[in-house]
């Protein structure tokens, strides 16, 4: 899959599924909506899929119900260096 196809697949599981389930009135970020969402530690949708990032925060109706601390990876080839797996 290319960059555009990956972003379209993310729309398929978010915007399009809300439309299919007929929950558009409660879907999206607006004042008065229930505030249920997932926060991913990624720069964009492509980055989230490419690195298979874990969910950073899971929020349901405005309350944090789960949180994952980011993993730290380093390599030591003479001197320790942090690895982020970002380009």
What domains are defined for the chain?
Answer: 3-83 (2.30.40.10)
Check residue 37 and give its pLDDT: 86
Q: Kindly report the average pLDDT of the chain as a whole number.
A: 85
C-alpha to C-alpha distance for 56 and 66, rounded to whole angstroms: 8
User: Does pLDDT of 57 surpass 90?
Assistant: yes
Check residue 34 and give its pLDDT: 80
Written as six digits, the tokens of 61 are 């109706």
b or e along 4-20 (b: 16 or more beta carbons within 10 Å of the residue's beta carbon)? eebeeeeeeeeeeeeee
In percent, the amount of the chain with pLDDT more than 70 equals 97
C-alpha to C-alpha distance for 10 and 57, rounded to whole angstroms: 18
Give the closest residue to 7 by CA, choosing from 41, 44, 42, 38.
44
C-alpha to C-alpha distance for 5 and 67, rounded to whole angstroms: 29
User: Does pLDDT of 29 surpass 80?
Assistant: no
Which whole number is the average pLDDT over 29-46? 86
């Amino acid at each position: 899959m290319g960059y555009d196809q990956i972003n379209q697949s993310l729309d398929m599981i978010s915007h399009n599924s809300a439309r299919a389930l007929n929950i558009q009135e409660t879907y999206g970020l607006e004042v008065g909506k229930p505030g249920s969402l997932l926060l991913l530690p990624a720069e964009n949708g492509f980055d989230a899929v490419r690195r298979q990032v874990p969910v950073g925060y899971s929020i349901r109706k405005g309350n944090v119900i789960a949180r994952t601390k980011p993993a730290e990876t380093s390599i030591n080839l003479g001197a320790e260096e942090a690895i982020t797996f970002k380009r």
